[in-house]
Amino acid sequence: MVRRREIEVFSLSFLDAICCGFGAVIMLLVLNKAGEPGIIEQARVDRRELVAALERELAEIRGETVVLERDMTAVEAELAAGRSLLARLQGDLSRIRGQFAASREEGVSAEQRGELLAARQKLTDEMRRLLDDYQPPAEDNPVGGIPVDSEYILFVIDTSGSMFQGPWQLVLRKISETLKVYPRVKGIQVLNDEGKYMFPSFAGKWIPDSPGTRQRIVSTLAGWNPYSDSSPVEGIAEAINTFYEPGKPMSIYVFGDDFPTGQVEAVARYVERINQADEHGNRLVRIHGVGFPTQLAGGRMGNAVRFANLMRTLCERNGGTFVALATLN
């Protein structure tokens, strides 16, 4: 009987085949993983760029939000100021109507009543001395109720084209009339509405009063035409910040016709901050105004109304008087 050969399951050939198979699988895995680090790094870069882009968009959105909030706050402030102004104007209208009705009954005009109110101020001994020799002119007072109680006077004059090419001769005449109302003062100064000095050699200091000084002011003013934006704010600020000194009563006279830009209430509050009031409500300096109706003749009613409203507000809050001329004659 032939003896069969025993079969060895785990022979050398079988193990070789198994090992080769495992080797092939491992090789495939190694080859497959070789490209993954680059892909992972690119994915990280892409994510960083996406995060940076999102952060930039977030910053832009926050910036736009801040701008919108600021604009909204400004609009709300303007709206509140407008409502306050409307309420005050309505109150003024009711008061004027009441004064007009009372004046008709009592025979006293509203203008005279305003003159009496504006003239009330405690006079110092020096003010009384300056007024001892003053004799009112026989004709109507040229500055209509403006109190003559200051030792120093400063003019802030609008030198824009509408003034210089229009009622300039009338401006010269009103300046002369205002100076005549003050027989003697300790100092005079002239600025334009931008705060530019008529006489640069006297910048920042008072010009001593004399007949020659007054004549020189009027003659120089005839051809004086520096740049102007028709807003008296800069001139008023320069006048108060530079020339006010305690114990030196001072009045500012604003001559103008136009207020094209800016908020009346904002300007009034700014002037109040620099022309501070004492415990009795008295301001550092008086602010008076004289308005010329050039804008009415030119058809720019809005600018004329804005200037009148600005000067009425400034004069009312700073112890002064506003005089609006009816004609350019």
Same domain for 148 and 250, yes or no, is yes
Same domain for 90 and 129, yes or no, is no
Residue 2 lies in a domain: no
**pLDDT score for 116:** 45
- 1 or 57: which leads in pLDDT: 57
Same domain for 144 and 267, yes or no, is yes
d(CA 123, CA 149): 7
- 69 or 125: which leads in pLDDT: 69
The arithmetic mean of pLDDT across residues 199-214, rounded, is: 95
pTM of the model: 0.58
- Among candidate residues 108, 134, 158, the one where a domain is terminated: 108
Alpha-carbon dihedral angle through residues 306, 309, 312, 318, given to the nearest 10 degrees: -80
- Is the four-CA dihedral 202, 205, 209, 214 of positive or negative sign? positive
The arithmetic mean of pLDDT across residues 193-202, rounded, is: 95
Range of the domain at 45: 37-108
One DSSP character per residue, 89-151 reads HHHHHHHHHHHHHHHHHHT--HHHHHHHHHT--PPPHHHHHHHTT----SS--TTTT-----S
Same domain for 162 and 300, yes or no, is yes
How do residues 110-162 score in pLDDT, each as one tens digit?
455 454 444 444 444 545 555 455 454 433 343 455 667 789 999 999 999 88
Query: Using an 8 Å Cβ cutoff, are 314 and 279 in contact?
Result: no
The arithmetic mean of pLDDT across residues 219-244, rounded, is: 93
Number of domains in the chain: 2
Same domain for 141 and 47, yes or no, is no
d(CA 211, CA 283): 30
Same domain for 220 and 149, yes or no, is yes
How do residues 8-55 score in pLDDT, each as one tens digit?
555 556 677 777 877 777 777 776 655 555 555 666 667 788 888 888
> What is the rounded average pLDDT for all residues in the chain?
79
Question: Helices 211-221 and 168-181: crossing angle, nearest 10°?
Answer: 170
- Among candidate residues 108, 143, 158, the one where a domain is terminated: 108
- 183 or 42: which leads in pLDDT: 183
- 88 or 142: which leads in pLDDT: 88
Q: What percent of the chain has pLDDT over 90?
A: 38
Same domain for 170 and 292, yes or no, is yes
